């Protein structure tokens, strides 16, 4: 290894420092689009045009109808740290504008050629300014409509090493569109049009309804499954939409968070969302979430990074709880046995997407998103199961449905006709709007798990004492785990004590479990509950995993025959459970085929 050669400490020239600083603000063409669009929004624009050439690698033009810039002030806009947003440090805690550091235009001008034409409404003519390599080379009068147009070309020519690392034109154009669409979601009242090579890529009309803009941007898949949410806490408000638990994705691409209209990437909000969806979706699957958090500027620091995509909250715990609780309330308002957009109470959950205007806009303006599907995985076949139809006084595991002439009536009051059982595992129900298919094991497992959780909040689940306590010899590792967690097991209905040596004595089990092969039951419990959290999220405490295991063991098994009454009882209980879209492991419980889907399969439409 060569010895380092000591160099002389010296001040870097301004031209070099400007290009270095520009790298923090302008990473790629999409960064230029973001900064220019945000400047336009700060200027009160209601109509934006973005023109891309070469996917944004050749040139970018952004035109707006905002208030414009006074001719005397326009040249100053290209000076670093020149801004109209703040005048003192304390202003940072009350600023609501997107820009305030005075770095965007100077950074762009240091790595490209920039031509700006701007006019205020109070003046008959405007001004045209040309800046190249950070130097103003031309200032002249210019006509045009009120507002500002900025044309950026020769992008990254002064820093060829950065230009070399750009991706293909298609990839850079896609990144630019991602920026535009995120801004469009947060500002539905602004008309936005994007063109490239003389053709429209995007044309979003202005609207007063955020739900309409969401449908246009995220597409019909999201629109059909979206659940609206809203909540306030401590002076902040949260609105937006989330997907139903059975509609998951393989990535976080459609988890979008906005704070005071600004798109951010925040691990705290992400964790709050995933915690709310815990036990509702599979590991390594993600919901769609479009969340708008509005709060006092003093409660959030957006001055963490020049790109302003990272924030810090003054009270992170309160923000986490606010987001988590609001999503929990939204998820608890619907049941999987109802059509999308309806709740057991008859309340409309879906925003008003299905209007003539939205459908027309979807056809004319929308860029279609990638397709997605929900995972459907079969479960294993546990060894034993109790009778399903019971009437225990505590209601922990049994059902007592109202059954009338082959139809089930839960809290919804909606009838379903029981058709039969397929593959000994899937229950088929006919409804006026299509076909309902229920995974019997996953459904019963979810019902048991939720009832165990509710019971645990009041008092431990009811235990069934064994007539003859059973002494079981176990390996040392499993024995130690069970004894160390005896109190937790007792809370879940499993009562055991040390019997000396390598043995324990089991005195009671949860009432919904049958006392068969207790040794195998305990070995499986120690192995499955004692291992690390399988979700990898660190949010599954031991007690919770215990309840999941017990619910899985107590549920009716796959490939187990069920009578009509038992099937109807299961559906009734499912309809009354607001979290029953997925089993505790995250697998789907219900698959619905609407009438339109069935007609399409049989080519009737």
**Does residue 542 contact residue 289 with C-beta atoms inside 8 Å?**
no
Query: Which residues lie across from 129 on neighbouring strands?
Result: 116, 139
**Pairing between strand 226-233 and 113-119?**
unpaired
pLDDT value at position 339? 55
3-class secondary-structure state, position 124: coil
Task: Report the chain's mean pLDDT, rounded to a whole number.
Answer: 79
**Does residue 419 contact residue 412 with C-beta atoms inside 8 Å?**
no
pLDDT value at position 375? 34
What percent of the chain clears pLDDT 70, i.e. is strictly above it? 74
Tell the burial category of 297 from Cβ atoms under 10 Å away from its Cβ (0-12, 13-18, 19+).
middle
**Where is pLDDT greater, at 441 or 351?**
441
Query: Positive or negative, the Cα torsion across 441, 442, 448, 451?
Result: negative
Query: Which structural domains are found in the chain, ordered by start?
Result: 14-204 (3.30.565.10), 210-365 (3.30.230.10), 376-605 (3.30.1540.20)
For the segment 207-221, what is each residue's pLDDT rounded down to a tens digit?
Answer: 999 988 998 898 877
For the segment 163-199, what is each residue's pLDDT rounded down to a tens digit?
Answer: 888 989 999 999 999 999 999 999 999 999 999 988 9
Greatest mean pLDDT range, 80-94, 107-121, 394-408 = 107-121
Helices (H), 165-295: 169-186, 210-225, 267-276
**pTM > 0.75:** no
**Among 48-52, 388-392, 530-534, which is the least confidently predicted range?**
388-392
pLDDT value at position 37? 95
pLDDT value at position 7? 60
pLDDT value at position 38? 92
**What is the signed CA dihedral for 319, 322, 327, 332, rounded to 10 degrees?**
160
Grade residue 480 by pLDDT with cuts at 50, 70 and 90: confident
Cα–Cα dist 380/468, whole Å: 31
What integer is the mean pLDDT of 64-91?
A: 75
Cα–Cα dist 127/119, whole Å: 7
**Among 1-5, 335-339, 383-387, 392-396, which is the least confidently predicted range?**
383-387
Grade residue 120 by pLDDT with cuts at 50, 70 and 90: very high
pLDDT value at position 272? 95
Cα–Cα dist 409/185, whole Å: 40
What percent of the chain clears pLDDT 90, i.e. is strictly above it? 33
């Amino acid at each position: 290894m060569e010895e380092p050669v000591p160099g002389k400490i010296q001040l870097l020239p301004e031209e070099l420092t400007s290009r270095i600083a520009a790298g923090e603000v302008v990473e790629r063409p999409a960064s230029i689009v973001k900064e220019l669009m945000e400047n336009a929004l700060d200027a009160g624009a209601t109509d934006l045009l973005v023109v891309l050439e070469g996917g944004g690698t050749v040139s970018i033009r952004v035109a707006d109808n905002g208030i414009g810039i006074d001719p005397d002030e326009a040249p100053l806009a290209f000076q670093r740290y020149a801004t109209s947003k703040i005048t003192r440090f304390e202003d940072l805690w009350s600023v609501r504008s997107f820009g305030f550091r005075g770095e965007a235009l100077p950074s762009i001008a240091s790595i490209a050629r920039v031509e700006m034409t701007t006019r205020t409404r109070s003046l008959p003519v405007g001004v045209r300014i040309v800046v190249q390599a950070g130097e103003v080379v031309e200032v002249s009068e210019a006509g045009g409509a009120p507002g500002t147009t900025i044309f950026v070309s020769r992008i990254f020519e002064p820093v060829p090493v950065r230009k070399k690392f750009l991706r293909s034109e298609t990839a850079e154009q896609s990144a630019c569109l991602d920026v535009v669409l995120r801004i469009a979601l947060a500002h539905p009242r602004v008309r936005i049009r994007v063109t490239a090579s003389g053709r429209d890529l995007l044309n979003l009309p202005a609207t007063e309804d955020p739900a309409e803009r969401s449908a246009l941007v995220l597409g019909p898949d999201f629109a059909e499954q979206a659940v609206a949410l809203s909540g306030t806490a401590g002076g902040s408000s949260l609105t937006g939409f989330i997907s139903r638990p059975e509609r998951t994705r393989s990535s976080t691409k459609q988890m979008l968070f906005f704070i005071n209209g600004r798109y951010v990437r925040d691990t705290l909000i992400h964790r709050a969302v995933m915690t709310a969806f815990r036990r509702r979706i599979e590991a390594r699957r993600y919901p769609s979430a479009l969340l708008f958090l509005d709060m006092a500027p003093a409660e959030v620091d957006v001055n963490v990074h020049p790109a302003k995509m990272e924030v810090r909250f003054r009270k992170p715990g309160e923000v986490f709880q606010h987001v988590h609780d609001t999503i929990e309330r939204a998820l608890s308002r619907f049941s999987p046995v109802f059509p999308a957009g309806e709740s057991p109470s008859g309340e409309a959950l879906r925003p008003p997407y299905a209007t003539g205007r939205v459908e027309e806009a979807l056809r004319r303006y929308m860029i279609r998103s990638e397709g997605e599907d929900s995972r459907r995985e079969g479960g294993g076949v546990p060894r034993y199961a109790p009778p399903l139809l019971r009437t225990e006084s505590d209601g922990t595991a049994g059902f007592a449905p109202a059954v009338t002439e082959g139809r089930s009536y839960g809290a919804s009051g909606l009838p379903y006709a029981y058709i039969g059982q397929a593959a000994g595992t899937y229950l088929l129900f006919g409804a006026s709007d299509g076909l309902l298919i229920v995974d019997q094991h996953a459904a019963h497992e979810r019902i048991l798990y939720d009832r165990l959780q509710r019971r645990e909040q009041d008092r431990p689940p009811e235990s069934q004492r064994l007539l003859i306590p059973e002494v079981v010899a176990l390996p040392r590792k499993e024995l130690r785990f069970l004894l160390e967690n005896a109190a937790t097991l007792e809370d879940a209905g499993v009562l055991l004590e040390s019997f000396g040596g390598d043995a324990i004595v089991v005195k009671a089990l949860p009432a919904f479990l049958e006392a068969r092969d207790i040794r195998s039951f305990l070995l499986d419990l120690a192995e499955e509950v004692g291992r690390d959290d399988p979700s990898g999220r660190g949010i599954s405490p031991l007690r919770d995993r215990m309840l999941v295991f017990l619910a899985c063991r107590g549920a009716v098994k796959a490939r187990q025959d069920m009578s009509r009454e038992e099937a109807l009882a299961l559906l009734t209980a499912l309809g009354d459970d607001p979290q029953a879209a997925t089993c505790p492991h995250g697998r789907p419980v219900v698959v619905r085929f609407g009438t339109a889907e069935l007609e399409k399969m049989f080519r009737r439409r």
